[in-house]
Amino acid sequence: MREYYDLHAHTTASDGTFTPGELVQHAKKRGLAGVAVTDHDSTDGIEEAMDAGNKLNVDVVPGVEINTEYEGKEVHVLGYYFDRSSKSLQDLFRILREQRVTRMDRILEKLHSLGIRIERDEVISEAAEGSIGRPHIARVLIKKGLAQDIREAFDKYLSRGAPAYVERFKLDPGDAIRLIREANGVPILAHPGLVGKDALIEELIPAGLLGIEAFHPDHSEDARHRYAKMAEELGIIATGGSDFHGSGAEHRGDLGTVSVDKSVVLKMKELSGLF
């Protein structure tokens, strides 16, 4: 019997609504053999998820999603099976989380100038102990009746070109990839269809890129086939996942609605310097 893994999911350690333990429970309920915890700029949820995975016989793949920028486009880099004790990586995550707080403060200043009173403590409370992001601000906007859902909150206030948009801290994707490789991890370019710069894929291979997320909810069937073929031609891995954030948060579909065969995970382990 084939075993399936969802290799892109978020928890309350960043902008998901399920705790790491709840995510693993949900993976079990959904019949998945495994799930990757890929929180934004944070590895804080991995240990809890692994503990739950051991109890429920769900394979938890340790991961992260690092937000970078290339030629004005947001580019996300997924990392798997890296040394989580890497000082270089953890220092980067700390800097990125600090920059997220700075960005939040600037967004709130812009919202205040628009007459929208959202306080810092409200967003911090929404994020709890997680890595703060725009989705947390969006959820506060929804609670105040200023948007119906995440998409509207982003469109009206938080997306590039919207009145409260603030540029993020600029990190080059090549630098993120190199740090993941230095920590013996496997760097994968997340949802390349959302980046819209396919030439970047080949450009990042010398930096250590080992795969692309060909299968993603925001990719059409044609795009999925195209990226899978591209990965094959370039000799890199084609991965996939649902980009699950939980109910009501950037909801693209349930956990496991996009998944890959266990053979993809075994290939990543083979490429990692830790397994």
| pLDDT tens by residue, 191-239 | 999 999 999 999 999 999 999 999 999 999 999 999 999 999 999 999 9
Q: In the structure encoding, which two tokens stand for residue 178, read together? A: 């190199």
151-172 burial, b at 16+ Cβ within 10 Å, e below that, comes to eebbebbbeeeeebbbebeebe
Contact 39, 10 (CB under 8 A): yes
What's the pLDDT tens digit per position in 14-54? 999 999 999 999 999 999 999 999 999 999 999 999 999 99
Q: In the structure encoding, which two tokens stand for residue 176, read together? A: 């993120």
Mean pLDDT over 156-167 rounds to 94
Q: Cβ–Cβ contacts within 10 Å for residue 144, how many?
A: 12
Average pLDDT over the chain reads 94
Nearest to 201 by CA among 168, 232, 222: 232
Predicted TM-score of the model (pTM): 0.88
Containing 176, the helix (H) or strand (E) segment is helix 173-182
Percent with pLDDT over 70 in the chain:
99
Residues near 190 by Cβ (< 8 Å), separated by ≥ 6?
A: 8, 65, 75, 76, 77, 78, 213, 216
Is 4-86+186-271 CATH 1.10.1330.10? Answer: no
Mean pLDDT over 169-198 rounds to 96
What's the pLDDT tens digit per position in 80-106? 999 999 999 999 999 999 999 999 999
In the structure, what pLDDT confidence band is assigned to residue 250 with cuts at 50, 70 and 90? low
**pLDDT attached to residue 76:** 97
Q: Which residue bears the tokens 């009173």? A: 117
Percent with pLDDT over 90 in the chain:
86
Contact 37, 20 (CB under 8 A): yes
In the structure, what pLDDT confidence band is assigned to residue 170 with cuts at 50, 70 and 90? confident
**pLDDT attached to residue 248:** 63
Q: Which residue bears the tokens 């349930």? A: 254
* Sequence spans of domains, the chain: 4-86+186-271
Q: Cβ–Cβ contacts within 10 Å for residue 29, how many?
A: 13
Mean pLDDT over 55-78 rounds to 95
In the structure, what pLDDT confidence band is assigned to residue 249 with cuts at 50, 70 and 90? low
Nearest to 104 by CA among 65, 140, 63: 140
Q: In the structure encoding, which two tokens stand for residue 134, read together? A: 């725009």
Residue at 256: amino acid letter: G
Contact 52, 20 (CB under 8 A): yes
| Burial (CB count within 10 angstroms: exposed 0-12, middle 13-18, buried 19+), residue 263 | exposed
* Cα–Cα distance, 257 to 160 (Å, whole number): 28
**pLDDT attached to residue 198:** 95
Say yes or no to pLDDT of 251 above 70. no
- Map residue 17 onto helix, strand or coil: coil
* Cα–Cα distance, 138 to 156 (Å, whole number): 10
